[in-house]
C-alpha cells in the first residue's frame, strides 16, 4: 500500500529532481519516488554526509584511485559534502 509523505529537500536536491523531471517529462514527485525506490531496492549502502570514508586501492592501484577521485571531483556529485581522501 502506497503512503503519502512530505519531504523537506535541500535546494540542490530539488533542482536536480526538477531537471530530471523536465528531461523525462514526468512530475518531480515521480522522480523522487523512483530515486528512493532505487536506493532501497538496489541495496546500496547509504553514505552519511559529514562522515569521512577511506578510499582504498590494492597495491599498485594508486593511479586508478587518483583517476576515480578526479572523476568524482568533476562530476555533478553534490559539492556540499565532498569525499575526504586519507593518505
pLDDT at residue number 66: 79
pLDDT at residue number 2: 76
pLDDT at residue number 20: 92
Query: Residues 47-78: pLDDT tens digits?
Result: 666 666 666 666 667 777 778 778 777 765 55
HEC string for the chain: CCCCCCCCCCHHHHHHHHHHHHHHCCCHHHHHHHHHHHHHHCCCCCCCCCCCCCCCCCCCCHHHHHHHHHHHHHCCCCCCCCCCCCC
Once rounded to an integer, what is the mean pLDDT over residues 4-23? 91
Question: What are the structural domain ranges in the chain?
Answer: 7-46, 49-87
Cα–Cα nearest to 81, from 55, 38, 48, 57: 48
Q: Residue 85 pLDDT > 60, yes or no?
A: no
Amino acid at each position: 500500500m502506497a503512503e503519502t509523505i512530505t519531504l523537506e529537500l535541500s535546494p540542490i536536491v530539488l533542482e536536480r529532481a526538477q531537471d530530471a523531471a523536465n528531461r523525462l517529462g514526468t512530475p518531480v514527485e515521480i522522480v523522487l519516488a523512483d530515486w528512493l525506490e532505487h536506493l532501497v531496492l538496489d541495496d546500496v549502502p547509504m553514505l552519511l554526509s559529514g562522515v569521512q570514508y577511506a578510499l582504498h586501492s590494492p597495491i599498485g592501484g594508486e593511479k586508478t584511485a587518483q583517476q576515480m577521485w578526479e572523476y568524482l571531483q568533476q562530476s555533478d556529485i553534490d559539492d556540499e559534502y565532498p569525499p575526504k581522501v586519507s593518505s
